[in-house]
């Protein structure tokens, strides 16, 4: 069965992390992805996070399904090779600071001249225009400026940043969505598109009606820890065996079942209990009731009892719990892939399944430039030309 995007050719000229992750998502769905890196300064993500036997583990996931090519885009021959890639590509993803590609003579005008159907996705911290366009931009800054950090953390405590690339991850999904939208438009019009994805924006869209709330009420969402400002009980609770569970009662019927389960049905009759906002104003009382009940039982007992009454609860997992969980196993969430250096390794798989053309991971992240000679030869460079490029440091 063919992969759903196997007819797409994507050039990934981006680094750290939104752009490469977007290319990874497209590669998971079958697109051919060629990763372009500087010969002497490859993607810095290769040096982030833990390593084993000198092999970066994050890159094994982020670089999966990608051929790797090294090109110095400061050089004429590197620019020529990049243009030849763009001429054949459906999509180019880049995240250089605005104006950098233009300075190298590789702006959208030139790329579209050689390939009018090309989709150029430009992923930067602050976008292609505005007073901040030239600033260095990372996901951490987006998490700060979007309001995420301001609303995250314990009440009275400091703003809290996530311990992972949240804004980058959201921007990667947005970029993949933008690419597919542009490709659909190309199918109708025959013309490519230039896409402007600013990492500060997609995370903002995920944070609910904070802008509308401020506009209409003059209020900002406070920090509430693991509680929600929109409903209660909603928190993380400690069990008798020193495990943690999370409870959500976004639906009114679920909130009622939880209170029946923990032996406090009288709360359900209160007027304030009839809405999430009303319950949130009584979070102390509801947390005491639910937390006290949970604290007397093991995690397995809590989950079993909640499941029995069809109430919403989940154990708070670490990575080992995820791999062992039967639901993740049934979904096939964790894939085991053979790496040529480290042997079999586990990683999270593609984001969804399809009835036909199942997404796949064919290989883990490769070394920088592992496919340079093969790809350049495919673009029409002779062996002598490739050797000369290596001699001058262009690849």
Report whether 193 contacts 119 (CB < 8 A). yes
pLDDT tens profile 99-129: 999 999 999 999 999 999 999 999 999 999 9
Give the mean pLDDT of 267-279. 96
Alpha carbons 290 and 311: distance in angstroms, whole number: 12
Task: List the beta bridge partners of residue 190.
Answer: none
Alpha carbons 268 and 210: distance in angstroms, whole number: 29
Alpha carbons 216 and 212: distance in angstroms, whole number: 6
Query: Given this model, what pLDDT does residue 359 score?
Result: 87
Q: Which of 61-65, 111-115, 227-231, 324-328 has the lowest mean pLDDT?
A: 227-231
Alpha carbons 171 and 18: distance in angstroms, whole number: 6
Element (H, E) at 168: helix 166-189
Side-chain half-sphere exposure of 289, counting CA atoms within 13 A: 22
pLDDT tens profile 277-315: 999 999 999 999 999 999 999 999 999 999 999 999 999
- pLDDT of residue 1 exceeding 80: no
- Domains along the chain? 9-205+364-392 (3.40.50.10540), 235-321 (3.30.1540.10)
Report whether 265 contacts 259 (CB < 8 A). yes
Task: List the beta bridge partners of residue 7.
Answer: none
Catalytic residues, which ones? 168
pLDDT tens profile 215-245: 999 999 999 999 998 999 999 999 999 999 9
Report whether 241 contacts 298 (CB < 8 A). yes
Give the mean pLDDT of 44-51. 94
Give the mean pLDDT of 89-107. 96
Helix count and strand count (H, E) for the chain: 18, 13
- pLDDT of residue 358 exceeding 90: no
pLDDT tens profile 177-204: 999 999 999 999 999 999 999 999 999 9
Beta-sheet pairing, 244-247 with 235-238: antiparallel
Question: What is the average pLDDT value for the chain, to the nearest integer?
Answer: 96
Q: In what order do the strands lie in the sheet with 235-238?
A: 235-238, 244-247, 313-315
Q: Which of 144-148, 227-231, 356-360 has the lowest mean pLDDT?
A: 356-360
- The model's confidence at residue 271, banded by pLDDT at 50, 70 and 90, is very high
Side-chain half-sphere exposure of 337, counting CA atoms within 13 A: 22
Alpha carbons 395 and 182: distance in angstroms, whole number: 31
Block residue for tokens 């104006």: 99
**DSSP label at 313?**
E
């Amino acid at each position: 069965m063919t992969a759903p995007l196997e007819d797409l050719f994507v050039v990934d000229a981006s680094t750290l992390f939104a752009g490469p992750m977007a290319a990874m998502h497209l590669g998971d769905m079958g697109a051919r992805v060629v990763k372009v890196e500087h010969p002497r300064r490859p993607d810095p993500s290769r040096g982030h996070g833990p390593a084993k036997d000198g092999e970066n583990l994050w890159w094994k996931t982020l670089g999966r399904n990608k051929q790797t090519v090294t090109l110095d885009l400061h050089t004429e021959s590197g620019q020529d090779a990049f243009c030849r890639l763009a001429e054949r590509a459906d999509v180019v993803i880049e995240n250089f600071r605005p104006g950098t590609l233009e300075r190298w003579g590789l702006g959208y005008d030139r790329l579209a001249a050689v390939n009018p159907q090309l989709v150029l996705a430009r992923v930067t911290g602050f976008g292609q225009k505005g007073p901040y366009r030239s600033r260095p931009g990372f996901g951490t800054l987006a998490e700060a400026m979007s309001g995420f950090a301001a609303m995250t953390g314990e009440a009275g405590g400091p703003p809290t940043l996530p311990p992972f690339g949240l804004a980058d991850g959201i921007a990667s999904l947005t970029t993949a969505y933008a690419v597919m939208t542009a490709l659909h438009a190309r199918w109708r019009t025959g013309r490519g598109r230039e896409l402007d994805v600013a990492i500060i924006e997609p995370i903002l869209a995920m944070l609910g009606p904070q802008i509308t709330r401020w506009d209409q009420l003059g209020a900002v969402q406070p920090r509430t820890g693991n509680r929600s400002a929109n409903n209660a009980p909603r928190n993380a609770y400690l069990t008798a065996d020193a495990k943690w569970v999370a409870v959500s009662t976004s639906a009114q019927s679920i909130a009622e079942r939880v209170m029946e389960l923990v032996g406090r049905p009288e709360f359900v009759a209160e007027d304030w209990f009839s809405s999430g906002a009303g319950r949130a104003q009584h979070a102390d009382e509801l947390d005491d009731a639910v937390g006290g009940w949970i604290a007397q039982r093991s995690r397995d007992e809590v989950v079993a009892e909640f499941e029995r009454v069809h109430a919403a609860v989940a154990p708070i997992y670490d990575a080992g719990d995820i791999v062992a969980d039967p639901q993740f196993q049934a979904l096939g969430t964790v894939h085991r892939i053979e790496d040529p250096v480290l042997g079999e390794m586990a990683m999270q798989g593609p984001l969804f399944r399809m009835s036909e053309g199942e997404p796949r991971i064919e290989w883990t992240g490769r070394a920088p430039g592992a496919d340079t000679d093969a790809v350049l030869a495919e673009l029409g460079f002779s062996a002598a030309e490739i050797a000369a490029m290596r001699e001058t440091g262009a690849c």
